[in-house]
Amino acid sequence: MRSAPLGIFDSGVGGLTVVRAVQELLPAEDILYLGDTARLPYGSKSPETIRQFADQDVGFLVKRGVKAIVVACNTATAHALPSLQEKYDLPILGVIEPGIEAVLANPAAERIGIIATRGTIDSHAYQHALALRRTGLMIYGQATPLLVPLIEENWMDHPATRQVLATYLNPLVEKGIDTLMLACTHYPLLIPILRDLLPAEVRMVDSATTCAEHLSRELARLDLLHDVGGVGKLELHLTDLSDAFEALARQFLKQSTGRIHRAVLDA
Amino acid sequence: MRSAPLGIFDSGVGGLTVVRAVQELLPAEDILYLGDTARLPYGSKSPETIRQFADQDVGFLVKRGVKAIVVACNTATAHALPSLQEKYDLPILGVIEPGIEAVLANPAAERIGIIATRGTIDSHAYQHALALRRTGLMIYGQATPLLVPLIEENWMDHPATRQVLATYLNPLVEKGIDTLMLACTHYPLLIPILRDLLPAEVRMVDSATTCAEHLSRELARLDLLHDVGGVGKLELHLTDLSDAFEALARQFLKQSTGRIHRAVLDA
């Protein structure tokens, strides 16, 4: 069982930032990645539809014998994680819990901004989890639906991106946030420009590295670590293939993707 | 047969600009509209996936007894119209042919800019059709993938939208275009800001009104017009329902949508 691959899925290729963080921390693990590019994005769709899509995504990975699953998508974690954990009999981890832990690792954190898709913000998953863990926090959620399209256009340095970010961030900065949670797996690509736009004292927490650390602890606890040394394989499956998706996958992964397989999900 | 409804579909609610134009021109017609909001957008996805989705969309409408179908989506028209017309035994019209006719209705048109999703631009459907009809045209296609997300955010007046539009339009303006084809059913909502940004002599042609006029001629030719007077019914079906989609639908339709039904498509 320890030598079985990890399953990681996202609505598209943004979850590859999580894959990269997992590869850095747990290089021996084989990884099976599924990106539901045919139906992306999930962030603007309804909870029921996201639950149905996430269920089909998990079904695909379970059928291929993964030992554990990471939901590398904030929107899917927000809306579907509990129902997935109830239905399937293997460890399923989301990206929200690790992000929350990382935010609260700073005992001085008091004013927390959260940027995410509208689906994640409207779910209130981060807001509830933070408020339950520490009293007296001020929490400001900001839906930032244009960031994924801008990142996918590779307009990281475009003046329009700065203008969009200023519109989204100014209300948070005015509230005096000390922490900004980047609650979408696409957003690590914006860290340089965010660093530029935010006051120096604002700490950024992203979903990718925190999720990899959480996964490592959970696999150790469950005695599921593939601790044989060597370098694991990565196999990419996408529900829609195109040159644009392949180029984007390379960009998120910062390495060659190998052959990408076309995934067909069961209804 | 004349009293059967028209079927109109799009990847989302953008095609409602076509519905509105059809209602103005042919008020007596009943309309069954399908928006595939669960899987939108189509514009960034591969030709095969778009053909598969469009086939399922048409299947849904045919099952409900429509007399003719309008593909109110440029990307689906570009990639799927020929295969749909081959497979189904009822009139199926796209939005590209009417747009081309409207562009060429101006005998002086020489330098044509086309703005559209990446899928539509990369299909070269407009470029080929224009070049076949009139020799000597200069045709400039510009993929404008950020416009749909900006419109869906309702940022029609935001400075970022102007900046994005300037980036997209400046190369076309520098080429001295005399006509701009708005080759996406979302784009009519941008006409006021485009009018502001473009030189006064550039003529804009949009998919919605030209498609309604083409439909009217085709229904007359096929003796399918429902010419009884009165006001037809509009029934909206979406594959994903949410408050955001409903608000957007009202905005595109510029009227109340009535009850929106959740559509389940056959695989």
Hey, are the CB atoms on B240 and A150 less than 8 Å from each other?
no
Residue in this structure with the two tokens 């007359």, named with its chain if needed: B220
In chain A, % of residues over pLDDT 70: 100
Mean pLDDT for A243-256 is 92
pLDDT in tens, A24-73: 999 999 999 999 999 999 999 999 999 999 999 999 999 999 999 999 99
Hey, are the CB atoms on A38 and B49 less than 8 Å from each other?
yes
Distance to chain A for B45, nearest Cα, Å: 7
d(CA A251, CA A233): 18
Hey, are the CB atoms on A44 and B145 less than 8 Å from each other?
no
Tokens of A52: 């149905």
Kindly give the parts of chain B with pLDDT less than 70. Answer: none
pLDDT at A11: 97
State yes or no: pLDDT of A1 exceeds 90. no
Sheet of strand A111-116: strand arrangement: A138-143, A111-116, A179-182, A203-206
pLDDT at B73: 97
What CA–CA distances, in Å, run from A241 to A14, A261, B46, B56, B152? 15, 8, 7, 19, 25
State yes or no: pLDDT of A228 exceeds 90. no
**Residue A82 contacts by C-beta under 8 Å, 6 or more apart in sequence?**
none
pLDDT in tens, A139-179: 999 999 999 999 988 898 899 999 999 999 999 999 999 99
Hey, are the CB atoms on A146 and B145 less than 8 Å from each other?
no
**Chain A neighbors of B267, CB-CB under 8 A:** 267
- Asked whether A90 and A67 are in contact (CB, 8 A), the reply is yes
What CA–CA distances, in Å, run from B135 to B33, B110, B138, B149, B205? 37, 9, 9, 35, 20
Angle between helices B96-104 and B125-133 (to 10 degrees): 40
**Chain A neighbors of B160, CB-CB under 8 A:** 146, 160, 163-164, 167
Nearest-by-CA chain A residue for B166: A160
Active-site residue (options: B184, B208, B211, B212): B184
The question of whether A184 is a catalytic residue gets the answer yes
Nearest by CB to B149, which of A46, A149, A239?
A149
pLDDT at A114: 98
Nearest-by-CA chain B residue for A144: B153
pLDDT at B101: 95
**Chain B neighbors of A241, CB-CB under 8 A:** 46
Burial of B221 (0-12, 13-18, 19+ CB in 10 A): exposed
pLDDT at A48: 96
What CA–CA distances, in Å, run from A187 to A149, A228, B70? 11, 32, 38
Active-site residue (options: A26, A184, A205, A219): A184
pLDDT at B1: 84
pLDDT at B227: 79
- Cβ count within 10 A of residue B69: 24
d(CA B95, CA B208): 8
pLDDT at B235: 97
pLDDT at B32: 98
Q: What ipTM did this prediction achieve? A: 0.92
Distance to chain B for A42, nearest Cα, Å: 9
